[in-house]
Amino acid sequence: MNTTCQRLYQRWMKFPGLDEDLKQSLRSLDPAGIEEAFYRYLEFGTAGMRGLIGAGTNRMNRYTVRRTTEGLARHLEGRGEAVKQRGVVIAYDSRRKSPEFAEEAAGVLAFHGIRVHLFPSLRPTPMLSFAVRHLQAAAGIMITASHNPAPYNGYKVYGEDGAQIPPHQLKAILTEMEGIQDELTLPVLSLDEGREAGWIRILDPKVDRAYTERLHTLSLRGKKKTNGDLSIVFTPLHGTGNLPVRRILEELGYTGVQTVPEQEQPDPEFPTVTAPNPEDPQALDLALKQARDQSADLVIGTDPDADRLGLLARNRTGDYVAFNGNQIGALLLQYLLEKRKERGTLPENGVILKSLVTSELGRSIAGGFGVSTEDVLTGFKYIAEKIKEYEESGRHTFLFGYEESYGYLPGDFVRDKDAVQTALLCCEMAAHYKDKGLTLDEVLHGIFEEHGWYREALFSFTFEGKAGLEKMASIMERFRTRPPGVIGGLSVRELKDYQQGIDGLPAANVLKYRLEGGSWIAIRPSGTEPKIKFYFSVVAPSEEEARTRLDRLQRVVRGMLED
């Protein structure tokens, strides 16, 4: 066993103040388990820090939270008293230990004399982003592991613009964290001590109301009488989306909303799903069953921190069509641009922002309306960074940002993906087309007829632990250094290695094979899960040809991996 791992393990075992449950967890570890728990400090990835809940430096626990918050606190202290007075907003979701971790973070900041604005109960991630901006705070903390399985929790840091901090800003916090000698002995105030000293303030409902009022400004349809004719089944998947989604839909006249009873209440065990991820079709099975029983028009589902949304819609024959993340983005984009053009509110310098592993269909749709499209690295912080840049320069007017992984942002009063905004606009879009006698799959069919038949797929392989990281590195190295000239009968026109810092983007461990005819394959290790992901996108003149190309590409790449 690594001597550093053994040293850290012994330090934790001998610490007199260690929680009893963490001590029990440590006692149960074998040598391999000790190494997994202590071979590193839990790291920030694409969307914050996520890890298994448990004992160890590579796990989510109160000491990991204290160490991370200590780094943030020292960084904020270095920026002066005014920054400390503006303070930090803290929110948390429905996961195991989320409230406790939020209180730990608040206590560390309070000890440093930094004001804390703490939500009184669970809230979606986008509401944390909104609150940072609304309260003009210096930073924000969100305790969440988003859509990961129940054993995980995590920690996201937001800057004063309400966006997750990008790598160059994170570096300053990481430098402060590296100077911490012992995460177990960091000083912290209790919640009561922090409140009595005046450093911790519990937020009142005014912030929630302000967020809902901004949601109203997104509506391109308003409280139309026929909104009540749309039948909707909604599931928050045991998370934070229930109240805010239902609130805005009710206020805009969508009276035909029913929630899935088994998934309505917050539950950190997520007992009805394998993983609470709307990207996984099985996560929406209960909602789909309820929709079929009631012949509902629409199914929407949000993940635990309500930043991702899944969508299904009833078609002409009464079956339900599940739309993937690229297709939801295309439908929303078509609707938003169509309506803004109709109203005369489409700016000449409009821009759409998307991740570089998101379908090019969005670029084609935007181009048809005279709107530019720009690619960014995976991670909504990069979309937020561009929004800020254009806000300051005036070069572009932001219209929509999205990723293929079911994350969308129509309104820039939030600077992270927002499933509450998206739920509102999906229902509005469905009601709009229903008034015109169209189903959503018919609208999508029309988009394909105009722009080409785009098809996408994603598969991933999970590699846990230290050995898993090494395996993923070897796969990336193989595809980076020995690129094939032809894949699935399509010639490779270009291999784009984003580790080289190309296309004006920061360096990132992403490969993208550009193939003939506009098809492409991208490969990247996940920044938040122990997975390596393979993305496929094809475009063809017909649906059948697109499906054939996509199937062939996936078969060939899987074969390469097996070899």
Q: How confident is the model at residue 461 (pLDDT cuts 50, 70, 90)?
A: confident
Give which of 534, 312, 282 is closest to 404, Cα–Cα: 534
Least confident stretch, 36-40, 85-89, 416-420: 36-40
User: Has residue 46 got a pLDDT over 70?
Assistant: no
Q: What is the pLDDT of residue 480?
A: 95
The chain-wide mean pLDDT, for the chain, equals 95
SS3 317: coil
199-215 pLDDT per residue, tens? 999 999 999 999 999 99
User: Has residue 47 got a pLDDT over 80?
Assistant: no
User: Has residue 122 got a pLDDT over 90?
Assistant: yes
Q: What is the pLDDT of residue 1?
A: 63
Sheet holding 88-92, edge to edge: 44-45, 48-52, 152-158, 139-143, 88-92, 116-118, 200-202
63-78 pLDDT per residue, tens? 999 999 999 999 999 9
Distances, alpha carbon 19 to alpha carbons 34, 52, 507, in Å: 17, 17, 40
Mean pLDDT of 20-26: 94
Paired tokens of 384: 């937020």
355-383 pLDDT per residue, tens? 999 999 999 999 999 999 999 999 999 99
Looking at residue 274, what DSSP letter applies?
Answer: S
Looking at residue 265, what DSSP letter applies?
Answer: S
SS3 23: helix
Is residue 441 within 8 A of residue 330, CB to CB? The reply is no
25 catalytic residue (yes or no): no
Residue 175: phi, psi to the nearest 5?
-60, -40
The CATH number corresponding to 225-451 among 3.10.129.10, 3.10.310.30, 3.40.120.10, 1.25.40.10 equals: 3.40.120.10
Beta strands in 116-181 (DSSP E): 116-118, 139-143, 152-158
- Start-to-end C-alpha separation, the chain: 32
The structural domains of the chain, with segments of one domain joined by +, span: 1-39, 44-204, 225-451, 453-562
Paired tokens of 499: 């580790």
SS3 307: coil
Q: Report the C-alpha gap between 152 and 434 in whole angstroms.
A: 40
Q: How confident is the model at residue 131 (pLDDT cuts 50, 70, 90)?
A: very high
Task: Domain 453-562: state its class.
Answer: alpha beta
Q: How confident is the model at residue 12 (pLDDT cuts 50, 70, 90)?
A: very high
Residue 492 pairs in a beta bridge with 515
Residue 44 CB neighbours (<10 A)? 22
Is residue 118 within 8 A of residue 147, CB to CB? The reply is no
544-557 pLDDT per residue, tens? 999 999 999 999 99
Tell me if domain 225-451 and domain 453-562 are identical in fold.
Answer: no
Q: What is the pLDDT of residue 107?
A: 98
Q: Report the C-alpha gap between 306 and 124 in whole angstroms.
A: 5
All residues at 6 or more sequence positions from 461 whose CB lies less than 8 Å from its CB, including other chains: 531, 532, 561
Q: Compute the half-sphere exposure of residue 99: CA atoms within 13 Å on the CB side of its CA.
A: 8
Give which of 501, 503, 541 is closest to 519, Cα–Cα: 541
Q: What is the pLDDT of residue 236?
A: 98
Is residue 273 within 8 A of residue 150, CB to CB? The reply is no
Crossing angle between the packed helical segments 3-14 and 20-27, to the nearest 10 degrees: 140
* Torsion from C-alpha of 191, 195, 199, 200, nearest 10 degrees: 60
Q: Report the C-alpha gap between 6 and 527 in whole angstroms.
A: 27
306-321 pLDDT per residue, tens? 999 999 999 999 999 9
User: Has residue 3 got a pLDDT over 90?
Assistant: no
Paired tokens of 475: 């796969």
Q: Report the C-alpha gap between 84 and 82 in whole angstroms.
A: 5
Paired tokens of 76: 């904020």
SS3 510: coil
Q: How confident is the model at residue 463 (pLDDT cuts 50, 70, 90)?
A: confident
Which residue in 146, 355, 359, 526 is the catalytic one? 146
Q: Which CATH architecture has domain 44-204?
A: 3-Layer(aba) Sandwich (3.40)
Mean pLDDT of 449-466: 91
Q: What is the pTM of this model?
A: 0.95
Mean pLDDT of 508-530: 90
Q: What is the pLDDT of residue 526?
A: 79
In this predicted model, which residue has the larger pLDDT, 251 or 471? 251
Q: What angle do CA 386, 500, 385 make, to 5 degrees?
A: 10
* CA 346, 347, 353, 359 torsion-angle sign: positive
User: Has residue 126 got a pLDDT over 80?
Assistant: yes
Residue 10 CB neighbours (<10 A)? 13
Q: Report the C-alpha gap between 78 and 400 in whole angstroms.
A: 35
Q: What is the pLDDT of residue 55?
A: 97
Residue 201 pairs in a beta bridge with 117
**Based on the number of CB atoms within 10 Å of its own CB, is 345 exposed (0-12), middle (13-18) or buried (19 or more)?**
exposed
Is residue 353 within 8 A of residue 377, CB to CB? The reply is no
User: Has residue 394 got a pLDDT over 90?
Assistant: yes
Q: What is the pLDDT of residue 528?
A: 64
Is residue 232 within 8 A of residue 296, CB to CB? The reply is yes
User: Has residue 182 got a pLDDT over 80?
Assistant: yes
Give the DSSP per-residue string, 239-253.
SS-HHHHHHHHHHTT
Q: What is the pLDDT of residue 563?
A: 73
User: Has residue 424 got a pLDDT over 90?
Assistant: yes
276-290 pLDDT per residue, tens? 999 998 999 999 999
